[in-house]
Structure 1
Amino acid sequence: MLRLGNPNRRIHIGLIAMTFVLSIFAGRLVQLQGLDSKVYVAEAAERRVQEEKIPARRGSITDVNGHELALTVEAREIFLDPGVVVPAEREKVAATLAAELGVPKEQITAKLSDPAKRYVPVGTVNPAVARKVLAHKFKGVGSEHRYLRDYPGGDLAGSLIGFVGDDGYGLSGMELLHNKLLAGRDGEQIMETGRDGERIPMTRTTRQTPVAGRDVRLTIDRDIQWAAQQAIGEQVKATGARTGSVIVMDVQTGQVLAAANAPELDLKNWEKTPAEGWVNRAVADVFEPGSTNKVITAAAALESGAVRPETVFTVKDEIRCADQVLRDSHPHPTERLTFSGVVATSSNVGTILAAQKVGDRKLHEMLQRFGFGSKPGAGFYGEEAGLLPSWKDWLGSQRCTIAYGQGVSVTALQTASVYQTIANGGVRVTPSIVAGTTDDKDVFVPAAPGKRTRVVGERTAREVTTMLEAAVSEGGTGTLAAIDGYRVAGKTGTAMRYDAACQGYCGYTATFVGFAPADKPRLVVLAVIQDPREGHYGGEIAAPVFKKVMTFALKSKKVPPTGTTPPAVRIRAGE
């Protein structure tokens, strides 16, 4: 006889089992909605809420007339979402993007290989190219708004302007020095998106508007800068020199109108240039100035009253100083030169004799007053102060050689500033490179004028100017710097060049610096050529560069000849 089970027992067992299962569900619900709710809410929000940086437009760097030397252009960053790209289309996506972006197909294929990554940049292009890419309507291929930095002039003032990295941060030159001002402030957008990145309708969106960067206007004149780069580049090549630099300054304001180097940094290909090629040598390279420094010794001698322009010196072609016999700039029999003649003929021996009347301490003070041993404060990136030993530390022959520019080190900008001071009647104006910036309303705000400091008296400056004019006239060392129709004052410089590579003096530094018109100075031009192989005298290879650049600058600035006649200068006693 068949016996059926107890239904009550089956019901009880079923109820117990159901209660157990439901209790597990309930416990899990308590955990999810109670104990761990904040964790899961935060995780859901993290996946749903997307933060997007909105880049700010970087400000422009312009020349003094507003011509853009560095500007920002619209761009698009093409990106991949490998997890969304249809597997069957990956080969086609890689081939198409490679063709449109001009990159190897293998590079795109590699970036598609990791579906776990959600945002893989593949290139930054102009908007027109981006539209062509997106027209293919591939899933997982998108674009984001970006900006690119462009340098229309290529290598025009390259090391002065500098460049930015891939992150938009300035890495050298003015781009680095004024990065905060130029960069502005990036904005931010927060929104809620679905699994595939689409925005969820009716959800919150927070947007912080970016603040565009401000513009920086330089004192550089684009045309004069170009002419200076052309002239120094050609001469460096012709003489087989290592490098060269040119500075052009406004006498009255101290503003730098050109700061050219050869070779110059090409901003469109800066990544291919070694870091040492990023340096603005016009303000960073330190060298011994040679005879261009004699103008300071002359100013010190005249200012002290120990020497007058007509003072006569008996000048041999050598002089003993401590344990060294120092030779004149050129062999000659003993001659009687006026102090004006000493400067005009660039006599080392005559300069030493004049310096001995001044004394070490006073000469050192005059070098300091002209700005040696301290940074010019012009606002360039990478300015150097040079080297000016204390007069108490001048030993042996250094007491003599500093008088004619060996044993003290300067930059091209410092030397140009010395001649600006003489040309400006003895008043030094702190050099400047920034003409001004725009404010938050895009209104131009001029920079403060350079500090004016009286260095020597007007009479001293006028007498030194006459000597420098004689140096460019017949009988002087700078005749190749003469410009038809204009009165030119200037000085040659030829110094032995210290080179760390040979651990001593190897080669030469050739320099010419001067101003025009001599009787109503407007512009200073300095040309310096380092380690030339074809010739080495400043009057032979640097003076022609000065002439080219000064001639162009005078015409560019519409400076007319004064029409006056230079005063007669007696070079030798008895003339």
Structure 2
Amino acid sequence: MKGLKISSLILCIVLFGGSLYLKNYFISVSSLLVLIYLLVVYGEWKKHKSVSRYNDRVLAGMNIVGFLIVILIIRLINLQVFKVDEYRKAVENQVLSKEQYIGNRGTIYDTTGKRLAYNINIYTLIINPKFALSDKKDRIFPILKEYCKEGLLDDKYLNLKNEIIQLGNNKKQYKILRKNITDSEKDQMMEIIGKVGSGVVREKILEFRKENKRKYFRSDLFFNLIGNIGYPRGYKGEEKKGIFGIEKEYDNYLNGLKVNREIRSTRTRGIKLPTDKIEAQEDINGKDIYLTIDSDIQYILSDELKKEFNKTKAQEAYAIVVDPNTGRIIAESSFNRKKEVRNPVFQNQVEPGSIFKPIIVGAAMNEGYVGRYSTFDVGDGKIKKYGHTIRESSRHVKGILTVQEILEKSSNVGMVLIGDKFTDEKFEEYLKRYGLYDRTGVDFPYERKPYTVSYKRWDKLKRSTMAFGQGIAVTPIQMIMAFSTVINGGILYRPYLVDKVVNEDGVVVRRNLPKPVRRVLKPEVSATMRAILEKAVEVGTVKNAGVEGYRVGGKTGTAQISANGKYVRHEYLASTVGFFPVNNPKYAILVMVYKPQADLLYHRFGGAVAAPVVGEVIRRVTKVKNILSEDIAQIAPGIYKGNEDKIKIDENMEIMPDLKGLTARDVLNLFKNKNYLLKISGTGEVISQYPKAGDKMENIKTITIRLK
């Protein structure tokens, strides 16, 4: 008997182990094991000799319990080994849900940290009328009554109640109660729910559906630069993408990620289970963009440009301010009558006119063809070249002119004579070195590719007309960067609009740095050109761009507009480029006004239309940025003689003189050899001072002057 039990046990173990290995035979083997067990029990009972009823009952009980244990073990093994995947899946279906997380789009800031494009959360309040009527606690209507009372819903309460009852009776499960709910309004609504009807959101009777909305600060100022988001043609995604401007150029950085996460919770109440895995928070929000744009200067530029645009009833107007030493774009603005969605600063190609002349003069000086005081005879103001007569724009420009006077008077004939110093090949070489044959590489979408023709295909007149800015097309961004090369020491820089890209932890993931493309002019040539262009503002055609107390340089341009291969009579592109301070330029400004209208022809020219805009921009920028005391303190004394000669001061400066009526330059010249810190604000003439006139100067280190 004992041997039989041992043999049976070994047989069971072998069969059972085999069944675990060969899973397909588990049921058959399990049945066989049960049969063997029953046979063993049967054999024991057959040989059992009853001694007492107690022993019989004990043996029977043991056999029954043993049988149940065998069945239980087989069942447990079946569940936990062979059907574990099936039952795990069933459990997951009961507690597992998927939630989609969409990161917020990044914010766009100006250089001072002011938000120009950002997201706000808005909500749509939705009710399930069917669930609302079946709610035994009757919580919905008191909530809605309170919402109407607080002005959070536009409908009258009784009308809304009757409508919801009617929809509920018709088994409707969806109705929008209100759209465009702000965060603060949602908090107010949730507070009412907490007091009146807690649980209605959790039970899906009421639902606040969240949506991100893109907001733009002063879109009238920044739209053509910042751009917008939407659904590009052919795009089938749900999330909006950048379709224009910075929003498009940096969309990969700004766009938030979309991730799906599995949540284990009770299905009815949404309570998170302790078995839910804790996952690390993933950075799914878009990156933030910091522009090089200064919103204060942007406002000034747009304001002054818009005034001239409306005043002259022009077809278009565009302007840009850059740092000539780095390529940083500080401000840009544009207006057009057609309300077109494009940015002409980067996408228009125009004939620049006379603002192009400094570029050619700089190249001629760099090659040693001319000097500042080289002379050219422009005769009676016209010259004949290859069967075409080129005339001066002003009949007063005649005789012998120096190079400086050619730029001061904006002589076309003089520029033709300077252009004759070049070969076509050398002329084209400088156009390429100034970057006029390539895109600038600015980080803005759709920058227009220049249309260029090899010098080998030029006609004989082309070099002569290009010398004074006709017969060549450039984009405004190309023009301002080439001009910046002339005044910044001779280096061409790549322009850029974005300073840095940061993540939500403030870590910089990308930074744009000034990128010198190449050296074009010698530093000494650039210094000479600054002096010539300053003189053009003082006594030349650019007088309207001058600002009292500042050293400003610049050049005007009045380009004829061509249509169908011919120039249109009395239709012009009026332009001016300016920069300041002359000794160390920090701002280069280009203003272009396309087809200005005026009764007098002169009032359509660059000196009358664009130059005043440059002057007013400079005047207002100096006030906003307090540049006067910082940047003109190094003005070379003695260049101009002003009213300071009327005031006599002793060498030791013991008594403060009366400065009323003096200009900023007068004050600087007056104190040029004195060891005082001058703080000057405003423009114009002195209206107040500290110390006051007649005060003793003992222990005085700082003098404060206010101008108006």
Q: Establish whether TM, by shorter chain, passes 0.5.
A: yes
Q: Does 2:214 correspond to 1:149?
A: yes
TM-score scaled by length of structure 1: 0.78
Matches within 5 A, 1:44-443: 50-79=97-126, 123-131=179-187, 140-165=205-230, 167-191=239-263, 199=270, 209=281, 211=283, 212-262=285-335, 277-315=340-378, 316-332=380-396, 334-439=398-503, 441-443=505-507
Distance in 2 between residues matched to 1:449 and 1:210, nearest whole Å: 33
Task: Give 1:253 shift.
Answer: 1.9
Amino acid at match of 1:471: A
The alignment's C-alpha RMSD in Å is: 4.0
Q: Does 2:618 correspond to 1:550?
A: yes
Task: Give 1:456 shift.
Answer: 0.9
Query: How much identity, in percent, do the aligned residues show?
Result: 27
Task: Give 1:168 shift.
Answer: 4.0
Equivalent residues, number: 513
Asked whether the equivalents of residues 72 and 150 of structure 1 are also in contact (C-alpha less than 8 Å), the reply is: yes
Distance in 2 between residues matched to 1:201 and 1:340, nearest whole Å: 81
TM-score scaled by length of structure 2: 0.64
Task: Give 1:49 shift.
Answer: 6.2
| Residue matched to 1:449 | 514
Asked whether the equivalents of residues 264 and 273 of structure 2 are also in contact (C-alpha less than 8 Å), the reply is: no
Amino acid at match of 1:145: K
| Residue matched to 1:458 | 523
Task: Give 1:159 shift.
Answer: 1.4
Task: Give 1:43 shift.
Answer: 12
Q: Does 2:635 correspond to 1:563?
A: yes
| Residue matched to 2:697 | none
Asked whether the equivalents of residues 227 and 246 of structure 2 are also in contact (C-alpha less than 8 Å), the reply is: yes
Task: Give 1:333 shift.
Answer: 6.7
Please give the per-residue CA displacement for 1:226-264, whole angstroms capped at 9, x wherever unaligned: 111111111111111122222111232221111122369
| Residue matched to 1:529 | 593
Asked whether the equivalents of residues 300 and 362 of structure 1 are also in contact (C-alpha less than 8 Å), the reply is: no
Partner of 1:437: helix, strand, or coil? strand
Asked whether the equivalents of residues 246 and 282 of structure 1 are also in contact (C-alpha less than 8 Å), the reply is: yes
Distance in 1 between residues matched to 2:551 and 2:352, nearest whole Å: 24
Task: Give 1:409 shift.
Answer: 1.4
Asked whether the equivalents of residues 329 and 347 of structure 1 are also in contact (C-alpha less than 8 Å), the reply is: yes
Partner of 1:171: helix, strand, or coil? strand
| Stretches of structure 1 lacking an aligned partner (at least 5 in a row) | 1-37, 265-273, 569-575
Task: Give 1:530 shift.
Answer: 1.3
Task: Give 1:493 shift.
Answer: 0.7
Please give the per-residue CA displacement for 1:399-419, whole angstroms capped at 9, x wherever unaligned: 321111112112222211122
CA 1:344–1:351 in structure 2 vs 1: closer, same or farther (change >3 Å)? Answer: same
Distance in 1 between residues matched to 2:130 and 2:639, nearest whole Å: 85
Asked whether the equivalents of residues 319 and 333 of structure 2 are also in contact (C-alpha less than 8 Å), the reply is: yes
Partner of 1:564: helix, strand, or coil? coil
Distance in 2 between residues matched to 1:119 and 1:538, nearest whole Å: 61
Amino acid at match of 1:127: D
Structure scoring higher RCO (CA < 8 A, sep ≥ 6) equals 1
Task: Give 1:132 shift.
Answer: 5.9
CA 1:78–1:305 in structure 2 vs 1: closer, same or farther (change >3 Å)? Answer: same
Asked whether the equivalents of residues 231 and 548 of structure 1 are also in contact (C-alpha less than 8 Å), the reply is: yes
Please give the per-residue CA displacement for 1:489-532, whole angstroms capped at 9, x wherever unaligned: 110011112458x9964721111102112222222111111111
| Stretches of structure 2 lacking an aligned partner (at least 5 in a row) | 1-84, 232-238, 641-708
| Residue matched to 2:663 | none
CA 1:331–1:427 in structure 2 vs 1: closer, same or farther (change >3 Å)? Answer: same
Further displaced range: 214-223 or 46-55: 46-55
Distance in 2 between residues matched to 1:210 and 1:81, nearest whole Å: 34
Please give the per-residue CA displacement for 1:185-208, whole angstroms capped at 9, x wherever unaligned: 23334457999x864875986878
Further displaced range: 226-235 or 203-212: 203-212
Task: Give 1:481 shift.
Answer: 0.9
Q: Over alpha carbons, which structure has the higher Rg? A: 2
CA 1:199–1:252 in structure 2 vs 1: closer, same or farther (change >3 Å)? Answer: same
